[in-house]
Amino acid sequence: MPGKDPSHPAFYFEGQELAAGNMRGFWALDPCKQNGLSCETGDECCGGFCRPNGDGGFACVPPPSGCSQEFETCKTAADCCDTGSLCVNGHCAKPPPN
**Spatial contact of 86 and 76, defined as CB atoms under 8 Å apart:** no
d(CA 81, CA 98): 21
Tens place of pLDDT for every residue, the chain, 98 residues?
Answer: 677 776 766 666 666 666 655 555 667 878 999 999 999 999 999 999 999 998 999 999 999 999 999 999 999 999 999 999 999 999 999 998 87
Instruction: Say if residue 18 is exposed, middle or buried (CB neighbours under 10 Å; 0-12, 13-18, 19+).
Output: exposed
pTM: 0.63
d(CA 7, CA 1): 12
Q: Where are the domains of the chain?
A: 33-98
